[in-house]
Structure 1
């Protein structure tokens, strides 16, 4: 029994299971909370005699799940946090360039989605981030029919050929 009250039926018979990470109303069966974060640390013994923490680390800033703990307390999956930071930096740059071109939020969100696709397909490797972002914004301009030209983006970045080459390599090859 818990001090929580069900939003659906008003019952106070709530089962909070820390192992599953959820809170369920025992009267109507509604899941009141899931993915409850616990502050306890649990370790398991590995096959080689070492120890490993169980679960995932959650940053105090919240939002994104950070890397999992792995064998011998070394981090595994550091790429997930790095990718989130890369996407966050791209979102910021897209917003800056997009606002200079007076593009609406829908276009900026679409450009970010194109950037995420390019990132997933490793089309950002070996290219300057600003050029990839400009290519994504230009792609949105072409698909949405906005009156912006490649020259407008190139003027903002002072590199006409680089943006054009990046655009062609990303989307036409």
Structure 2
């Protein structure tokens, strides 16, 4: 991961984190995902145990479509593109539902989805309820954008007591 001399269109910040392995560029100031389809032109192959070879790398998906990823004519299995796309789509729907109940504008909802994608990329969603992660992303937007919403509003919508300490598995 490295910072580049890119500039965020949202906050005009220049602290942009580019992660070639994950294929994204994220503004560290506001959380806006500037790019999430960075494609690398190099292809690397490694030799397998029985003399065969296979391509090494990570498939970087676009947000549209549910086509199985492939390399040439051979499909790549086990990458999880469809599962990830479904997870992001469910999160987008949940964010939209909560946001409409809180009467938040589309800009804030898009920013909350970007925070969710960041959490998903950094594997911060594992072992946590998706509704709680989504609520946290919306709450981050509420604090950064100065909306009149409180944590209590989100806990009421989710029917969760925000005063209880979190339990860890």
TM interval, shorter chain, is 0.5 to 0.7
- Name the structure, 1 or 2, with higher relative contact order (CA <8 Å, separation 6+): 2
Kindly report which structure 2 residues correspond to 1:54-133, keeping only aligned pairs within 5 A, or say none.
63-68=65-70, 75-133=76-134
Q: CA RMSD in A?
A: 3.4
Change (3 A) 1:164 1:146: farther
- Which residue does 1:140 correspond to in 2? 141
In the alignment, the residues of structure 2 paired with residue 102 and residue 120 of structure 1 have an alpha-carbon distance, to the nearest angstrom, of 28
Change (3 A) 1:140 1:101: same
In the alignment, the residues of structure 2 paired with residue 165 and residue 104 of structure 1 have an alpha-carbon distance, to the nearest angstrom, of 29
Structure 2 residue runs of 5 or longer lacking an equivalent are 1-49, 53-63
In the alignment, the residues of structure 1 paired with residue 98 and residue 106 of structure 2 have an alpha-carbon distance, to the nearest angstrom, of 12
Over residues 29-77 of structure 1, what are the superposed CA-to-partner deviations in whole Å (9 max), with x where a residue is unaligned?
xxxxxxxxxxxxxxxxxxx799xxxxxxxxxxx734423269xx77424
TM-score, normalising length: structure 1: 0.54
CA contact (8 A) 1:134 1:163 kept: no
More helix by share: 1
- Which residue does 1:161 correspond to in 2? 162
TM-score, normalising length: structure 2: 0.55
Q: CA deviation at 1:94?
A: 0.2
Structure 1 residue runs of 5 or longer lacking an equivalent are 1-47, 51-61
In the alignment, the residues of structure 1 paired with residue 164 and residue 96 of structure 2 have an alpha-carbon distance, to the nearest angstrom, of 17
